[in-house]
Amino acid sequence: MIFIAGATGFVGRHLLRGLSREGHGARCLVRNEYGERLCSAAGFETCRGDITDRESLKGKLEGASTVIHLVGIIKEGGGATFDKVHVEGTRNLVEEAKRAGAGRIFYQSALGAALESPFGYLRTKAEAEEIVRGSGIPYIIFRPSLIIGPGDGFTENVKGLLRLGPVVPVPGDGEARFQPLFIEDWIRCLLKIMNDADSENRTFEFGGPEHLSYNDMLKTIMRELGVDKPIVHIPPAVVKAGLPLAGVGRKIGLKVPDVGAEQIDLLQVDNITDTDSVERLFGFRPIGFEEAVRKTLGGQPDRT
């Protein structure tokens, strides 16, 4: 039996559809009624719990042969910190997986994860990796670059930027490079090696087939949406200084992107690996960014 923590997130929701297509069953850890409805409607078993609450996990992993850990946050807030979710939450889940005798654990990390990283997001992802590696349970760790697809946070935030006014504000020079991967290709990667013994105890770093700057990705999305506005580059410090005002805007109903200071800093650094990484590691070539954007947006123009 597959046990999934994080089934209601962006990646998790798409994974459920992929598992369903392949005829796999799963038990999904959910925190509320919404999660129960979403997973049950997709035909999956549910159980209530939260990885940051060790007691709530007791008995929930019984019978799990594979544990898929997708829980993560990109921005701290509301008591959810990187340490609490990525580190403490992973430790709780791993300990319960060990107690339940799970045969394998999959952890979704991130490209750039490193114990010495100056970014809390990437540092705590690396700390969680260490917990998984030290568990004694056979593991698979994925370190993907940016994942896009219907409902992803990156594309939704870009759409929010496009609604803000007559210009498109970009923190910094927009020249940091990324390697976007379509969500269906990520799922294909996981399903291909999920039960492959040769993939045990390995960390996979991968991304899409192109290195693209933030400016490149933004222009592609604008073109697909039919948006024609000038791009204005703003010093990151100025953007971060305006974050409290953006929070006020969201409270009164404005569609302002919900980003944190660290996310703005992460937009200034490359997040790339080899462009043939998926082909080399998983044996197929993923689709390019332009096609991925078209599939993500559904080809619907938005004259924002």
- Which sequence spans correspond to the domains of the chain? 2-144, 153-176+211-270+289-297
Query: What does the pLDDT look like over 28-86, one tens digit per residue?
Result: 999 999 999 999 999 999 999 999 999 999 999 999 999 999 999 999 988 899 999 99
**pTM, whole model, 2 decimals?**
0.93
**What mean pLDDT comes out for the span 77-103?**
96
Query: What does the pLDDT look like over 171-219, one tens digit per residue?
Result: 999 999 999 999 999 999 999 999 899 999 999 999 999 999 999 999 9
Rounded Cα distance between 267 and 173, Å, is 10
Strands 45-48 and 66-69: unpaired
Let me know the angle formed at the C-alpha of 67 by 66 and 68, rounded to the nearest 5 degrees: 115
Rounded Cα distance between 88 and 124, Å, is 10
The CATH number of domain 2-144 is 3.40.50.720: yes
Query: What does the pLDDT look like over 265-294, one tens digit per residue?
Result: 999 999 999 999 999 999 999 999 999 999
DSSP structure class, residue 297: H
